[in-house]
């Protein structure tokens, strides 16, 4: 029986701590934005398609938690996802209000 060598993940190959930090920040920001956007669309859209956005937000969260195994980035991910959700929901509500109630034309 042969002994198998332990293989390092691709993410840790040639990155020291200084090179990994900006990449981690970028991953957290992008994943939290996508998750917040999916949750905003889930809250704003009616019909059965909204559950697709809920499922997509869950998948994004699972992928992000699988990519980063430290607690700090995970806490930032959850916090930023909530902030993105609130901001994007307000923006979507403004856009929907403006579409439903156009400004009167002055002449």
Query: Across residues 84-99, what is the average pLDDT?
Result: 94
Q: What is the pLDDT of residue 105?
A: 80
* Higher-confidence position of 89 and 105: 89
Question: What is the rounded CA–CA span in Å between residue 25 and residue 9?
Answer: 19
Do 85 and 33 meet the contact criterion of CB atoms below 8 Å apart?
Answer: no
Question: What is the rounded CA–CA span in Å between residue 67 and residue 103?
Answer: 47
Q: Is the dihedral of CA 75, 78, 80, 86 positive or negative?
A: negative
Query: Across residues 49-75, what is the average pLDDT?
Result: 92
pLDDT tier, 13 (very low <50, low <70, confident <90, very high otherwise): very low
* Higher-confidence position of 14 and 24: 24
Provide the token pair at 17: 């701590």
Note the pTM of the prediction, 2 decimals.
0.75
Region of 47 on the Ramachandran plot (φ > 0 left; ψ -120 to 50 alpha; else beta): left
Q: What is the pLDDT of residue 17?
A: 57
């Amino acid at each position: 029986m042969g002994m198998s060598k332990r293989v390092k993940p691709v993410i840790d190959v040639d990155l020291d701590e200084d090179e990994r930090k900006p990449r981690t920040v970028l991953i957290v920001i992008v994943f939290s934005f996508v998750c917040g956007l999916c949750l905003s669309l889930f809250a704003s859209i009616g019909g059965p398609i909204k559950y697709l956005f809920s499922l997509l937000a869950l998948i994004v969260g699972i992928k992000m938690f699988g990519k980063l195994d430290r607690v700090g980035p995970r806490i930032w991910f959850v916090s930023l996802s909530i902030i993105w959700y609130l901001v994007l929901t307000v923006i979507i509500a403004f856009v929907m209000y403006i579409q439903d109630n156009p400004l009167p034309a002055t002449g």
